[in-house]
Amino acid sequence: MSVEKRLAYSIVQFLRDQTHCGSLNSDEQESLEVAIQCLETTFKISSSDCNLEAPQPLREMFLNSLLKNDIVSLQETSPSPEDIERAEQLKNEGNNHMKEENYSCAVECYTKAIHLDQRNAVYYCNRAAAHSKLGNYTEATGDCERAIAIDPTYSKAYGRMGLALTSMSKYPEAITYFKKALVLDPENETYKSNLKVAEQKNKEASSSTAAGLGFDMASLINNPAFIRMMSNAVGGPAAGVGGMSDISSLIEAGQQFAQQIQQQNPELIEQLRNHIRSRSFSGSAEEHS
């Protein structure tokens, strides 16, 4: 297993996560999908190659690498006892603002506490909670990542990261962080509940995508308009008194049926065409896999 393949797989995972973030327009979305296909083709990898998955997502590894230098410098410059005491006071003020739902004020208090003592993971994690309440999920994930970099055993930071990612509809990543939180705190019922929610939303998102690409034949067969058109085509005057007794009659009825559908329900014809095209493409992909 080459390092290059594992790196390419991590990059593809990152790009695929970006396609689900909901902030891209159609052109940007298409560009990312093309980039993913190019990387998968070049490095001969696919999303099913789970053996290539790295222990951490690429974004997390990148940020942890950047934060290491910050942490080293923080360790070299310790805050004074007075700064530590004042930072704790600001944290408590921020907590009170959270209880009163003054989330912007809470962010300000936690930020001031961080300026006084940048080594405390709790301050970053609390600010992440305030950011999440304000809908600033990108800022929340950034604070959680910094808290985790300072204290990798801080389960609450993983849990709050999971919540922010769930709000961003990044369900696979959220599931990963909730599971990490549970490894550190196995009896925490909140983490268990949030993990179930993320797993359910991930399942619904996958089902919704599949349903959007599928074709509901049962609905077609039970569609009243479809049944009426079938009856007219087979049992109508054009079928003849003796019914379809030869091949030419069958072909004629089929042509009549197709024309009636085209006239009365052109959307149905287009749906059938798209279904046939997608099935053909799927078959080709399987042959070349």
Reply yes or no on whether the pLDDT at 38 is more than 70.
yes
Residue 244 is predicted with a pLDDT of 46
State the distance between the two ends of the chain, measured CA to CA, in whole angstroms: 19
Reply yes or no on whether the pLDDT at 49 is more than 90.
no
| Residue of higher predicted confidence among 116 and 225 | 116
pLDDT tens digits along 255-266: 666 666 666 666
Residue 74 is predicted with a pLDDT of 54
Reply yes or no on whether the pLDDT at 144 is more than 90.
yes
Residue 226 is predicted with a pLDDT of 53
Residue 282 is predicted with a pLDDT of 40
Return the domain boundaries, the chain: 3-52, 60-212, 217-288
Residue 29 is predicted with a pLDDT of 85
What stretches of the chain show up as alpha helix (H) in DSSP?
A: 3-19, 26-43, 58-76, 81-99, 103-116, 121-133, 137-150, 155-167, 171-184, 189-213, 217-221, 224-235, 247-264, 266-288
d(CA 78, CA 115): 12
The dihedral through the CA atoms of 67, 86, 141, 158 has a sign that is positive
In CATH, the number for domain 3-52 is 1.20.5.420
Quick one: average pLDDT of 36-42? Answer: 90
Reply yes or no on whether the pLDDT at 19 is more than 90.
no
Residue 283 is predicted with a pLDDT of 41
Query: Within 10 Å of residue 142's Cβ, how many Cβ atoms?
Result: 18
pLDDT tens digits along 55-106: 777 776 776 666 665 555 555 568 899 999 999 999 999 999 999 999 999 9
The dihedral through the CA atoms of 269, 273, 276, 282 has a sign that is negative
- How far is Cα of residue 4 from the mean position of the Cα atoms in its chain? 25
pLDDT tens digits along 195-237: 999 999 988 887 755 454 444 545 555 555 555 555 554 555 4
Does domain 60-212 fall under CATH 3.30.70.100? My reply is no
Q: Which two tokens stand for residue 47?
A: 């999303």
Residue 259 is predicted with a pLDDT of 66
pLDDT tens digits along 153-200: 999 999 999 999 999 999 999 999 999 999 999 999 999 999 999 999
Residue 195 is predicted with a pLDDT of 96
Residue 205 is predicted with a pLDDT of 80
Residue 286 is predicted with a pLDDT of 42
Quick one: average pLDDT of 105-122? Answer: 94
Residue 62 is predicted with a pLDDT of 72
Residue 82 is predicted with a pLDDT of 94
| Residue of higher predicted confidence among 12 and 247 | 12
241: confidence class by pLDDT, cuts 50, 70, 90: very low
